[in-house]
């Protein structure tokens, strides 16, 4: 949420969500963390096109479904699972374990 590259590339974070009561209400990088219970309300207000999903795998499908119902057209998925979404919804999966494996391979073979 503090990544400065978003702004340089023309992206702004409209909202952030969590289920941890200790995090709700905190501000990180200028964006307030909201309760996941408020997801549909906030999506309706902000009308973002893209979402970054960084949730446990068992929660990913449900959260993705809710964001898509709220108007999201593209998801950057950090959850360690493959999302099944309707056609017309773009998903880019980021598999950190795979990326780390590629990095280790490059180091060993350089």
pLDDT of 6 reads 87
* DSSP single-letter state for residue 38: G
CB 92 within 8 A of CB 77: yes
Question: How much is the average pLDDT of 91-96?
Answer: 94
Q: Give the list of residues 6+ apart from residue 23 with CB closer than 8 angstroms, or none.
A: 33
Per DSSP, which regions of 1-110 are E strands? 16-18, 27-28, 31-35, 50-53, 74-77, 90-93
23-73 confidence digits (pLDDT tens): 999 999 889 999 999 999 999 999 999 999 999 999 999 999 999 999 999
pLDDT of 7 reads 87
Q: Where do the domains of the chain lie, and which CATH numbers do they carry? A: 1-47 (no CATH), 49-110 (3.40.50.720)
């Amino acid at each position: 949420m503090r990544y400065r590259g978003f702004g340089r590339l023309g992206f702004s974070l409209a909202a952030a969500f969590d289920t941890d009561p200790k995090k709700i209400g905190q501000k990180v990088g200028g964006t307030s963390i909201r309760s996941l219970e408020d997801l549909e309300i906030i999506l309706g207000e902000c009308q973002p096109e893209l979402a970054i999903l960084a949730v446990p795998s068992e929660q990913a499908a449900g959260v993705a479904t809710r964001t898509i119902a709220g108007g999201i057209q593209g998801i950057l998925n950090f959850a360690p699972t493959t999302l099944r979404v309707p056609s017309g919804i773009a998903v880019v999966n980021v598999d950190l374990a795979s990326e780390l494996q590629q990095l280790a391979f490059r180091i060993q073979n350089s």
